[in-house]
């Protein structure tokens, strides 16, 4: 008798044993999709192993083997297993993350689309990790294209990860022109043809793939493998929903288990990547002279100074910034003004009773949009007309505070009425802002390949620095590095913290000054990359139940942590945010040295915890 070990795309650990009927023996192979009974449901599962014995009584048989040849290669099976262990998820959940939706639903395939995976997965050449640090996107792409040409000419295959969807088409066209008109596979969950593109790569008809976060699971066929991650520091590479994997961590795992070459590129590499590169001594490429040649002249405006308070109090655009913008326009230059929020005002309240206008589902301040005359929640789809009277006390005055792109646009239009200006808000902004002398934008502008401005003015970056987040300084550093990359000549920053290391490196044009100081502080506090954090999230519609469940689970985890020392309790409290889309959130943060050891220990501990109406997930780092 033969038994199949099957995993399912559910938050339950497996694998589960199923009997292989005699007629299915030739097809029931590791990597094949199967239909099985799971409880009262019929589900699509994935064979991850076979055995000749099982300890399960009254074992159920497989209902159907969907694939004539295994869809998942041995390399992809092992890779997904390691990712699942790393991010404290089930193996089946990660496999389903790797597959386009139609393939998860059991879509039957032509066996000619799936070559025999046993002929593949030979040892690859030139393994290792290269961290390419450059403020110039053009230089990074030149480096990537040389590596891609080398890999493809050696008969290998490659995948390029990009942080946003608009970049995919342009990158696809660029690669098509380089490789003699051969179109790369474009992998993105929003594309209706993703399944056919995935199969084109799986069949070997395409050897290069370009995609967003989930493309890290691309079914590469021909070694040597090459994985490229552009803008590797971008937070969008971390998945918000379970499984909470990070594409860069997954790429490192794949490089280790398959012998692939990994190239990480960025204008502001993450601290984890810098630390993994031996603080810039191992596999780290940064041409300081070439970068300094294109680095803008940076000036910091101290918003706490007496001069600033006298001349620019209560102004989003200081007198000094206004003078710099005027001088740039007079010389025929182009200006970018950065502000971190959309809308007109970010905070609405009643000055009489103090009532704040918040989203009832998210408990988040509503943002006022002047042109639409609407209050919108920045976290969900809620929107409402602004009230004429205070909902709490009935007074007829609502005050709007805080600045967004609309308010800055209004202020700049008043100061420079003759200048053509626009807001960079969405995908249509490239067309709308063509020819504009002043552009007002959020950080989205830094992803535009051809964006360039003679003056970049940062109106406020302090808000991000003041958040309760140990990565806040790194995020501000990343933002400023991105803005540097679009500044041709000058950059002016308004800040209350000009001596902070996330600003001071700019005047000396040396990013390693920031990295060294930030790593020193992280090491002193035993924060990542010198440790690993895991956030255990609890959510549910009943706040009292969620709080009670958190107390019980925190006690359970504290009790379990003392036995094997895989982790230690770090903190316990409200989630961030504490309420979202009608659910209340609480969090328990634990700290350890190894993500895998923490994952194993947390999975065992959470097996003993069940509460009706409470959903528990684990987010590593």
pLDDT at 121 over 50: no
Mean pLDDT computed over every residue of the chain: 90
Q: Which of 59-68, 143-152, 180-189, 234-243 has the lowest mean pLDDT?
A: 180-189
pLDDT of residue 552: 93
Q: 580 and 503, same structural domain?
A: no
Q: Which of 392, 369, 365, 391 is nearest to 380 (CA)?
A: 365
Residue with tokens 């009670």: 548
Residue 120, pLDDT above cutoff 50: no
Statement to judge: residues 409 and 477 lie in one domain: yes
Q: How confident is the model at residue 561 (pLDDT cuts 50, 70, 90)?
A: confident
Domain shared by 247 and 139, yes or no:
yes
* 431 strand-pairing partners: none
Closest CA to 67 of 158, 4, 15: 4
User: pLDDT per residue over 59-108, tens digit each?
Assistant: 999 999 999 999 999 999 999 999 999 999 999 999 999 999 999 888 88
Kindly tell me if the per-residue pLDDT of 556 is higher than 60: yes
Q: Residue 230: pLDDT band by 50, 70, 90 thresholds? A: very high
Pair (274, 308) in one structural domain: no
CA–CA distance, 201 with 100 (Å, rounded to integer): 13
Question: Do 359 and 248 belong to one domain?
Answer: no
Rounded to an integer, what distance in angstroms lies between the CA atom of residue 375 and that of residue 385? 6
Eight-state DSSP code of residue 329? H
Q: What's the pLDDT score for residue 463?
A: 85
What CATH number does residue 568 fall under? 3.30.70.600
My answer on whether 17 and 161 are in the same domain is no
Strands 335-338, 453-458: pairing kind:
parallel
Q: Alpha-carbon Rg of the chain, whole angstroms?
A: 27
Regarding whether 170 and 158 lie in a shared domain, the answer is yes
Which DSSP helix (H) or strand (E) runs through 479? helix 472-485
Using the 3D structure, point to which of 490, 524, 558 is the last residue of a domain: 524
Measured at the CA of 251, the angle between CA 189 and CA 86, to 5 degrees, comes to 95
Q: Which of 359, 348, 357 is nearest to 400 (CA)?
A: 348
**How would you class 562 by CB atoms within 10 Å of its CB: exposed for 0-12, middle for 13-18, buried for 19 or more?**
exposed
Final residue in a domain of this structure, among 113, 131, 166: 113
Task: Give the residue from 471, 491, 524 where a domain finishes.
Answer: 524
CA distance 170 to 184: 12
Residue 119's pLDDT is what?
43
CATH number at residue 476: 3.40.50.300
Residue-wise pLDDT tens digits, 320-343: 999 999 999 999 999 999 998 999
Residue 266's closest CA among 244, 246, 291? 291
Residue 410's pLDDT band, with cuts at 50, 70 and 90, is very high
- Closest by CA position to 478, among listed 453, 506, 456: 506
Residues 205 and 130 placed together within one structural domain of the fold: yes
Residues 237 and 199 in one domain: yes
Answer yes or no: do 61 and 201 share one domain: no
Bridge partners, 226 (sequence order): 158, 261
Answer whether residue 197 shows pLDDT above 70. yes
Under the phi-then-psi rule, with left for phi > 0, alpha for psi from -120 to 50, and beta for the rest, what region is 526? left
Rounded to an integer, the average pLDDT of 270-290 is: 85
CA distance 542 to 585: 10
Please determine, for residue 273, whether its predicted confidence score (pLDDT) is greater than 50: yes
Going by pLDDT thresholds of 50, 70 and 90, the confidence category of residue 473 is very high
Query: Would you say 228 and 131 are in contact if contact means Cβ atoms under 8 Å apart?
Result: no
Q: What is the pLDDT of residue 221?
A: 86
| Inter-CA distances, 82 with 247, 394, 415, Å | 13, 58, 57
Stretch 177-185: mean pLDDT, rounded? 79
d(CA 457, CA 459): 6
The 3-class secondary structure across 40-83, one letter per residue, is CEEEEEEEEEEECCCCCCCCCECCEECCCCCCCCHHHHHHHHHH
Residue-wise pLDDT tens digits, 457-472: 999 888 888 888 899 9
Q: How many domains does the chain have?
A: 5
Residues 255 and 389 in one domain: no
Q: Which of 42, 41, 45 is nearest to 16 (CA)?
A: 45
pTM above 0.85, yes or no: yes
- Note the pLDDT of residue 165: 86
Is pLDDT of 117 > 60? no
Q: Does the structure show a pLDDT above 80 at 112?
A: no
Whole-number pLDDT of residue 233? 95
SS3 content of the chain, % helix, strand, coil (to 5): 35, 25, 40
Domain encompassing residue 571: 532-620
Q: Coil, strand or helix: which one is 143?
A: helix
Cis peptide preceding 15, ω within 30 of 0: yes
Q: Assess whether 101 and 135 both reside in one domain.
A: no
**What's the confidence (pLDDT) of residue 289?**
83
């Amino acid at each position: 008798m033969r038994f199949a070990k099957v995993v399912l795309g559910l938050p339950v650990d497996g694998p589960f044993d199923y009997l292989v009927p005699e007629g299915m023996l030739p097809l029931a192979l590791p990597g094949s999709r199967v239909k099985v009974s799971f409880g009262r449901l019929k589900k699509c599962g994935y064979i991850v192993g076979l055995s000749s014995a099982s300890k399960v009584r009254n074992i159920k048989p497989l209902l159907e083997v969907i694939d004539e040849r295994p869809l998942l290669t041995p390399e992809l099976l092992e890779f997904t297993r390691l990712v699942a262990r790393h991010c404290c998820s089930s193996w089946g959940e990660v496999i389903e993350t790797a597959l386009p939706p139609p393939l998860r639903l059991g879509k039957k395939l032509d066996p000619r689309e799936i070559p025999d995976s046993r002929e593949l997965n030979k040892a690859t050449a030139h393994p290792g990790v290269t961290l390419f640090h450059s403020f110039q996107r053009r230089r990074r792409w030149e480096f990537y294209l040389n590596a891609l040409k080398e890999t493809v000419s050696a008969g290998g295959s490659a995948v390029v990860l990009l942080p946003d969807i608009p970049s995919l088409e342009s990158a696809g066209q660029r690669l098509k022109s380089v490789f003699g008109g051969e179109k790369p596979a474009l992998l993105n969950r929003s594309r209706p043809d993703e399944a056919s593109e995935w199969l084109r790569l799986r069949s070997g008809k395409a050897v290069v793939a370009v995609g967003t976060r989930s493309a890290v699971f691309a079914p590469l066929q021909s070694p040597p493998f090459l994985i490229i991650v552009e803008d590797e520091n971008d937070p969008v590479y971390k998945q918000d929903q379970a499984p909470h994997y990070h594409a860069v961590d997954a790429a490192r795992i794949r490089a280790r288990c398959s012998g692939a070459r990994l190239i990480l590129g960025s204008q502001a590499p993450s601290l984890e990547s810098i630390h993994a590169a031996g603080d810039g001594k191992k596999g780290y490429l940064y041409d300081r002279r070439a970068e300094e040649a294109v680095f803008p002249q940076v000036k910091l405006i101290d918003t706490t100074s007496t001069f600033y308070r006298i001349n620019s109090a209560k102004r989003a655009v200081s007198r000094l910034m206004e003078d710099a913008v005027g001088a740039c326009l007079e010389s025929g230059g182009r200006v970018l003004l950065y502000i971190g929020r959309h809308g007109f005002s970010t905070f609405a309240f009643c000055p009489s009773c103090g009532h704040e206008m918040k989203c009832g589902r998210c408990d988040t301040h509503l943002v006022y949009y002047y042109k639409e005359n609407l209050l919108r929640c920045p976290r969900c789809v809620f929107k409402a007309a602004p009230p004429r009277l205070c909902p709490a006390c009935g007074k007829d005055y609502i005050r709007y505070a805080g600045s967004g792109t609309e308010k800055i646009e209004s202020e700049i239009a008043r100061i420079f009425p003759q200048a053509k200006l626009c807001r960079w808000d969405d995908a249509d902004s490239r067309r709308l802002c063509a020819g504009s002398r002043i552009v007002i934008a959020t950080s989205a502008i830094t992803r535009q390949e051809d964006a360039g401005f003679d003056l970049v003015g940062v109106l406020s970056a302090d808000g991000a620095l003041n958040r309760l987040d140990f990565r806040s300084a790194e995020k501000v550093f990343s933002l400023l590095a991105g803005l540097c990359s679009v500044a041709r000549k000058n950059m002016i920053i308004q800040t209350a913290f000009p001596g902070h290391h996330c600003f001071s490196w700019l005047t000396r044009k040396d990013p390693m000054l920031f990295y060294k100081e930030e790593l020193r502080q992280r090491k002193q506090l035993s924060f990542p990359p010198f440790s690993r954090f895991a956030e255990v999230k609890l959510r549910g519609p009943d706040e009292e139940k969620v709080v009670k469940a958190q107390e019980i689970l925190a006690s359970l985890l504290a009790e379990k942590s003392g036995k094997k020392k895989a982790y230690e309790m770090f903190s316990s409290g409200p989630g961030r945010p504490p309420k979202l889309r009608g659910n209340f959130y609480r969090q328990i943060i634990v700290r350890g040295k190894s993500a895998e050891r923490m994952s194993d220990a947390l999975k065992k501990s959470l097996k003993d915890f069940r509460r009706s109406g409470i959903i528990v997930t684990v987010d590593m780092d």
